[in-house]
A = this chain, B = another copy of it.
């Protein structure tokens, strides 16, 4: 019967989320139910897609939802034993009980740090993989632009494109991230949109136009890309982080898609689950070969979960933003 701390949404942010929109609540969690398990979360994930749910979708005054990696600490289930690692959607809390539904047993790769299963080798990486290859129909050697290329999804997308022999331009909003993309990841061109207007920067960096724009941003990034799209170009739309807090994601030159016959497509990872096996094999290989670099920003303790979400919106993280809840 552990005491569990959990994070509630207590008010809906209009713009940027602030600490007062959240509250930490202590609650007593029961033993594993008959046929079920008691899980202790070890790490929880903080993602841009959480922001729209704060406006609509996430109930007020309940523990928030979010991806997490936990360990079974008590089991009355035949399907799980104590010590099993389980992926779950019940982040923002230290413990929970479950009948097993919604839990996915994780066969952690012993040659890799367990946290990679929460980004490059997890749904974050899969979103980049399927978005680029399935939705974006990337072909070897094409011209690629990735926004928020130092982010958790963007950095995987940019590196997959490099592995596929493409010319890859990435944008980011911080000098240290730009350095990482240039020197560690080795992109062909890196744009710091806080230093150079995005429109001019994208034009200068894409002399052969853009075949695939992997969009995490929307707004002025999307406008800049639309000006440069090649005929039959594709824009997999993973997120519009530019509009999540401002509420605006207006795009003024969408008509460009007509003349160049460009496709835009919003997507989520479940749109291409048939590729999950291929993804796991490819990505584990790339990670072990050192072809897939990553960064993690790990805050410690559940009390930091609101700060992690707020910081993510401000771009303070490098790569995947995680909160460590237990060893």
Report A's interface with B, CB cutoff 8 A. 52, 218, 222, 237-240, 243, 248-268, 271
Contacts and interface: CB of A to CB of B under 8 A. Distances in A.
A250 B249 contact: no
A248 B260 CA distance: 18
A218 B243 CA distance: 20
8 contacts: A240-B255, A240-B258, A251-B254, A257-B264, A258-B268, A262-B266, A263-B264, A263-B265
Contacts of A261: 265-268, 271
- Identical subunits present: 2
Given A248-B252, A250-B250, 18 more contacts: A52-B255, A52-B259, A237-B254, A243-B255, A249-B254, A250-B251, A251-B254, A254-B254, A254-B264, A256-B266, A257-B265, A258-B266, A258-B267, A258-B268, A261-B267, A261-B268, A262-B265, A263-B264
Contacts of A259: 52, 266
A238 B258 CA distance: 7
A249 B253 contact: yes
A256 B243 CA distance: 11
A252 B255 contact: no
A262 B267 CA distance: 7
A105 to B, nearest CB: 27
A118 to B, nearest CB: 22
Closest 6 CB pairs of A and B: A257-B266, A258-B266, A240-B255, A263-B265, A250-B252, A264-B264
Contacts of A249: 252-255
A250 B250 CA distance: 6
A137 to B, nearest CB: 12
Contacts of A264: 254, 257, 263-265
Nearest to A256: B266
Nearest to A243: B255
A253 B244 CA distance: 11
